[in-house]
């Protein structure tokens, strides 16, 4: 928890922004999940146009809606464990992995080793929290 705390603090700051925009925060296990709305149909148009539905920063998972966070929870929890392993270095390692993928002509998201790990772990154990 402490090793990932600097990243979680960034996530908590963004939680505050979401709350100021009318969102809400829930404690789910050892993470905080923050979203603009409860139901995905209520997500404002500007948020639906973002390239991502959820993002993890330490032990904080931000999403467009709590509905979406429930669906993506297993995937995002893999990222939480990655933050627990790497701490603040995750902020460097993740974009570096995307850069390497892009330089190799692959998709920066799908070719990112951290995304590949999350996808593989969810595929191996889809019921894990």
Nearest-approach distance from CB 80 to Zn ion, in angstroms: 11
* Cα 85 to Cα 96: distance, rounded to the nearest angstrom: 16
* Cα 72 to Cα 104: distance, rounded to the nearest angstrom: 28
Nearest-approach distance from CB 33 to Zn ion, in angstroms: 15
Q: Indicate whether 36 belongs to the interface with Zn ion (CB under 5 A).
A: no
Q: What does the buried/exposed string (b/e) look like for 7-36 if buried means 16 or more CB atoms within 10 Å of the residue's CB? A: bbeebbeebeebeeeebebeeeeebbbbbb
Site pattern 67..106 for Zn ion (x: CB under 5 A): ----------------------------------------
Q: How many of the chain's residues bind Zn ion (CB under 5 A)?
A: 2
Nearest-approach distance from CB 75 to Zn ion, in angstroms: 5
Would you say 76 and 121 are in contact if contact means Cβ atoms under 8 Å apart?
Answer: no
* Cα 92 to Cα 103: distance, rounded to the nearest angstrom: 16
Among 43, 101, 118, 122, interactor with Zn ion by CB under 5 A: 118
Would you say 129 and 29 are in contact if contact means Cβ atoms under 8 Å apart?
Answer: yes
Closer residue to Zn ion, CB minimum distance, 33 or 115: 115
In the complex, which residues of this chain contact Zn ion (CB under 5 A)?
Answer: 115, 118
């Amino acid at each position: 928890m402490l090793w990932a705390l600097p990243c979680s603090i960034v996530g908590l700051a963004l939680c505050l922004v979401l709350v100021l925009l009318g969102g809400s925060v829930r404690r789910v296990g050892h993470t905080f999940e923050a979203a603009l709305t409860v139901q995905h149909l209520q997500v404002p148009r500007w948020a639906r146009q973002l390239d991502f539905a959820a993002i993890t920063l330490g032990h904080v998972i931000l999403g467009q809606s709590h509905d979406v966070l429930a669906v993506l929870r297993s995937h995002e929890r893999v990222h939480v464990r990655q933050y627990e392993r790497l701490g603040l270095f995750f902020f460097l390692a993740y974009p570096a992995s995307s850069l390497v993928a892009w330089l190799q002509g692959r998709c920066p998201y799908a070719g990112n080793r951290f995304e590949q790990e999350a996808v593989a772990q969810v595929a191996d154990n889809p019921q894990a929290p």
